Each structure stands twice: as structure tokens, then as C-alpha cells.
């Protein structure tokens, strides 16, 4: 599901950025200092974590036309993807302009629009949440061996759909209701009824 989230974020940002701006998935690199910059927003995926707060409970049954369970699927799990968002442009003020547009887009997008998602992600039917991360990306620049520059981080909670379990026991074909009952001997013929006799007393 990672590549699908990558694609959806690129589509989302591409709609709001000025014409001619690229959206890339490139990590920051030291050669940026010597390369001639082009107008671009870079999304660098630097963290993947299990999103336990977003887990669902209960399984879902898939049934055929007769109502028979054909497969059972475990609840959707979620993963938190952390992205560093940076801007590249010939001038610093142009970088800040691109970064401001990207920041505004992410701040006002709580969930990814369905029309931004590729089919594989949209078909899951679960929302993809976006929020501005609380973490300061300053330490990340140091780890990359680069001087710090303007950037922000986002956290994306994406659903991961488990494979369905198709090893389901077949439904019962017959039900015997007298399986635990003891057979009783048939009752014999009824004894003939004796005629009543009246005795007259003096």
C-alpha cells in the first residue's frame, strides 16, 4: 500500500502547486548544494510504524448468492507513514512559496480524497488520514549530513487489508433433531372396556 499512498500524495499536491512544479519522492541529498534547483516539492518517506490506535475489531464474512460464507477477512490494520516535505527552487523566497502551498494543502486535508487515490487504495473503502506531524525534522537533517532548511513533516495513516481466509468449513446439509432421543417401544393394543354392572340393593 506504500506506493499507492505515494501516488495519491503526489496527485493531491500536484493539483494545488503552480504550473511547472514537480512533485518527487526523492530524499534530501548533499548534491542539492551544487545542483541547479528546479521548482519541486520532495516527499521523503523516512518512517513506517504500526498505527495501533487506528485498528479495527471483528472479522467480516463474504457470502455467495445463497448466503453461504465463502471467506472470512480479519479487520483492517493501519500503518503510519512519515514523510519529510521539502521545497526546491532557484530562490529561497520561491522555495518558501512552494512550501507554503504544500503546507496549506496538507493542513486542510484531513483525509485523502477518493479521486486522488489509485484503484487499489480506493477499493479498500477505508479512509486515509493526514495530519501535520508534531516532530521537529531538524534532527533528520543532521542524520542526513546536510544543513537544516525549511521543511515540515506529515503523518499518513493508511489501511492495510489482510488476505481473506478461504478455508471455511462447509455448511451442514442435514440436521437430525432426534439424534439424542431414546426410541420408545410402541404401546400395545388397548384393553377392551368392560361393561358396567349395576347392583340393586334392598
153-164, pLDDT tens digit by residue?
A: 999 999 987 665
Residue 125 confidence (pLDDT) above 90: no
Mean pLDDT score of the chain, rounded to an integer?
79
pTM: 0.71
Residue 76: the pLDDT is 79
Strands 40-50 and 151-160: unpaired
Judged by average pLDDT, the poorest of 29-33, 79-83, 186-190, 198-202 is 198-202
Q: State the Cα–Cα distance between residues 173 and 135, nearest whole angstrom.
A: 59
Assigned domain for 11 exists: yes
pLDDT, one tens digit per residue, over 39-90 is 999 999 999 998 877 555 545 555 566 655 555 556 778 999 999 999 999 9
Q: How many domains does the chain have?
A: 1
Assigned domain for 191 exists: no
Nearest to 52 by CA among 75, 77, 74: 77
Helix (H, G, I), strand (E, B) or coil at 143: helix
Assigned domain for 53 exists: yes
pLDDT, one tens digit per residue, over 91-110 is 999 999 999 999 999 999 99
Strands 60-63 and 40-50: unpaired
pLDDT bin (cut points 50, 70, 90) of residue 136 is confident
C-alpha cell at 10: 503526489
Nearest to 43 by CA among 82, 91, 1: 82
Residue 98: the pLDDT is 96
C-alpha cell at 189: 393394543
Residue 160: the pLDDT is 83
Residue 172: the pLDDT is 52
Phi-psi region of 189 (alpha: psi -120 to 50; beta: other; left: phi over 0): beta
Assigned domain for 196 exists: no
Q: Which domain holds residue 81?
A: 2-62+74-160
In the chain, what is the straight-line distance between the N-terminal and C-terminal CA atoms, in Å?
110
- Decide: 82 and 51 in contact? Cβ < 8 Å: no
Assigned domain for 184 exists: no
Assigned domain for 178 exists: no
CATH of the domain at 13: 3.30.2000.10
Assigned domain for 141 exists: yes
Q: State the Cα–Cα distance between residues 116 and 106, nearest whole angstrom.
A: 13
Average pLDDT on 14-42 reads 86
Assigned domain for 155 exists: yes
Outline where DSSP puts E strands in 51-188: 60-63, 69-73, 77-88, 129-132, 151-160
Amino acid at each position: 500500500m506504500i506506493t499507492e499512498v505515494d501516488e495519491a500524495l503526489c496527485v493531491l499536491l500536484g493539483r494545488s502547486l503552480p504550473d511547472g512544479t514537480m512533485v518527487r519522492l526523492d530524499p534530501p541529498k548533499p548534491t542539492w548544494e551544487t545542483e541547479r534547483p528546479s521548482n519541486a516539492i520532495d516527499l521523503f518517506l523516512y518512517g513506517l510504524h504500526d498505527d495501533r490506535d487506528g485498528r479495527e475489531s471483528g472479522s467480516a464474512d463474504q457470502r455467495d448468492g445463497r448466503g453461504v460464507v465463502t471467506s472470512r477477512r480479519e479487520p483492517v490494520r493501519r500503518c503510519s507513514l512519515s514523510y519529510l516535505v521539502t521545497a526546491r527552487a532557484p530562490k529561497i523566497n520561491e522555495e518558501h512559496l512552494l512550501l507554503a502551498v504544500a503546507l496549506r494543502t496538507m493542513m486542510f486535508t484531513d483525509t485523502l480524497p477518493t479521486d486522488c487515490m489509485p484503484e487499489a487504495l480506493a477499493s479498500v473503502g477505508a479512509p486515509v488520514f493526514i495530519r501535520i506531524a508534531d516532530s521537529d525534522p531538524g534532527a533528520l537533517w543532521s542524520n542526513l549530513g546536510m544543513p537544516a532548511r525549511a521543511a515540515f513533516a506529515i503523518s499518513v495513516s493508511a489501511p492495510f487489508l489482510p488476505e481473506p481466509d478461504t478455508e471455511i468449513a462447509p455448511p451442514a446439509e442435514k440436521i437430525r433433531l432426534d439424534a439424542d432421543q431414546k426410541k420408545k417401544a410402541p404401546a400395545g393394543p388397548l384393553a377392551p372396556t368392560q361393561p358396567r354392572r349395576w347392583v340393586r340393593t334392598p
